[in-house]
Amino acid sequence: RIVYVNGNYVPESEATVSVFDRGFLFADAVYEVTAVVGGKLIDFDGHVTRLKRSVAELSMPAEVDEAKLRGIHEELVSRNDIDEGLVYLQLTRGAADRDFLYPDTSTTPTLVLFTQKKAVVENPAAERGMAVVSLPDLRWDRRDIKTVQLLYPSMAKMEAKAQGADDAWLVEDGMVTEATSANAYIVTGDGTIVTRGLSNAILHGITRRAVLALAEEAGLKVEERGFTIDEAKAAREAFVTSASAFVMPVVSIDGAKIGDGSVGPLARRLRGIYLEALAA
């Protein structure tokens, strides 16, 4: 694989980052994951806009140049022959002597990108549906910033696996925030799609925005509000969205079947609408 590190395209075995990099020492880094379908980047503008916001929220003295970043993404997709998969981008505050204070603004940020081949469209999980378990949301309060502090989501996913499930839905003050790496939704008895409103409690998903817009265009009812695990268990359907999973049905929560325990028609339809929009 060819990866990108600070201006250079190099084989992954030759790519290096300093041990003093603040991304490594302090998780002082932000990231984005953009899906690739048919060799094309999906919703790239949305990902760059969110990256700019993450950079601004952390006062990182890094320039986010959309055209330049698009060029790097496209170059990696081409050099690695990615038809379907992902491009991962990570931007850190750079390497500096270890200190909790940010280094002065002359420190050069570190920019790393790599690709992953992955069958994102024909994903068998979309036919099977996912089992999730609820776990407390013990992440920090700025989940709207897409930082690489992913240890708790990683622990939660391990715990979900230990319980025989595919993922966790995280709960704070009795309400579901989101999944470990996706936004969470339920469909109520009258067919309304419910997902938590935007705030610092969740990541503002790029797929969330696209799917909610497509749902409204299709005349579906959408309500942005919190919901409990009990409401989710009693819901007609449940699903999650993310750049790599698109719309992914959830068929059980804490061992309780959602609806009849099979993939819901609305989740299936939304996945279809989303994939059609990608192909257009």
Helix 206-217 crosses helix 265-279 at what angle (to 10 degrees)? 100
As a whole number of angstroms, the distance between CA 172 and CA 9 comes to: 42
The least distance separating ligand PLP from the CB of residue 196, rounded to whole angstroms, comes to 10
146 annotated active-site = yes
Q: Which of 107/183 has CB closer to ligand PLP?
A: 183
The least distance separating ligand PLP from the CB of residue 243, rounded to whole angstroms, comes to 3
Of 22, 93, 196, 208, the one binding ligand PLP by CB under 6 A: 208
The least distance separating ligand PLP from the CB of residue 280, rounded to whole angstroms, comes to 19
x/- contact string, 164-183, with ligand PLP (CB under 6 A)? Answer: --------------x--xxx
Of 76, 203, 238, 250, the one binding ligand PLP by CB under 6 A: 203
185-188: Cβ within 8 A, 24+ apart: 185/238, 185/239, 185/240, 185/241, 186/227, 186/231, 186/232, 186/235, 186/236, 186/237, 186/238, 187/235, 187/236, 187/237, 187/238, 187/239, 187/264, 187/266, 187/267, 188/235, 188/236
State yes or no: residue 34 binds ligand PLP (CB under 6 A). no
The least distance separating ligand PLP from the CB of residue 244, rounded to whole angstroms, comes to 7
DSSP calls for 157-212: HHHHHHTT-SEEEEEETTEEEEESSSEEEEE-TTS-EEEPPSSTTS---HHHHHHH
Number of residues that bind ligand PLP (CB under 6 A): 13
Of 29, 51, 96, 206, the one binding ligand PLP by CB under 6 A: 206
Binding site for ligand PLP (CB under 6 A): 33, 178, 181-183, 203, 205-208, 241-243
Catalytic annotation, residues: 146
